[in-house]
């Protein structure tokens, strides 16, 4: 009886192992491709000699040392903090100007509608 158990269980274990290997292969290939892609992005940043930072993301972060490169996801370098800070302040000032302009246009439109009602 023990012989029959081993006679049936060993091929079943082998078949299930092969099935698990076949079903798991796409996941391992995907993980390998992701690692290869991140390595390529790091090499591109290194070859270009500069990183690209998301200025809009930097608006939401108070500590600019936590900003990461868009391509290779490395933290910002110390030499890049000052220019990024200047860009952030210029963008914030521009956003404030646009908001003030929109507010003024809305107030002007409200005044115009009130004047048209009076006529």
Q: How confident is the model at residue 30 (pLDDT cuts 50, 70, 90)?
A: very high
What predicted TM-score, i.e. pTM, was given to this entire model?
0.51
Look-up of token digits 């200047």: 86
The predicted-structure confidence for 43-81, as pLDDT tens digits, reads as follows 888 887 777 887 777 778 878 888 888 878 788 888 888
CB atoms within 10 A of CB 108: 10
What residue spans define the domains of the chain? 1-49, 52-119
Look-up of token digits 């079903």: 23
3-state secondary structure of 49: coil
- Report the C-alpha gap between 55 and 85 in whole angstroms: 9
pLDDT at 1 (0 to 100): 65
Burial group, residue 64, by CB count within 10 angstroms (0-12, 13-18, 19+)? middle
- Report the C-alpha gap between 36 and 30 in whole angstroms: 10
53 contacts: CB under 8 Å, gap ≥ 6: 67, 68, 69, 70, 76, 80, 84
């Amino acid at each position: 009886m023990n012989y029959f158990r081993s006679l049936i269980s060993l091929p079943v274990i082998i078949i299930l192992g092969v099935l698990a290997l076949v079903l798991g292969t796409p996941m391992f290939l995907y993980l390998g491709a992701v690692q290869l892609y991140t390595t390529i992005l790091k090499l591109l940043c290194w070859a270009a000699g500069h990183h690209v930072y998301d200025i809009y993301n930097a608006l939401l972060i108070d500590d600019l040392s936590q900003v990461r490169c868009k391509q290779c996801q490395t933290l910002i370098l110390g030499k890049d903090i000052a220019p990024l800070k200047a860009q952030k302040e210029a963008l914030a000032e521009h956003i404030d100007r646009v908001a003030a302009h929109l507010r003024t246009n809305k107030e002007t439109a409200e005044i115009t509608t009130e004047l048209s009602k009076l006529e």
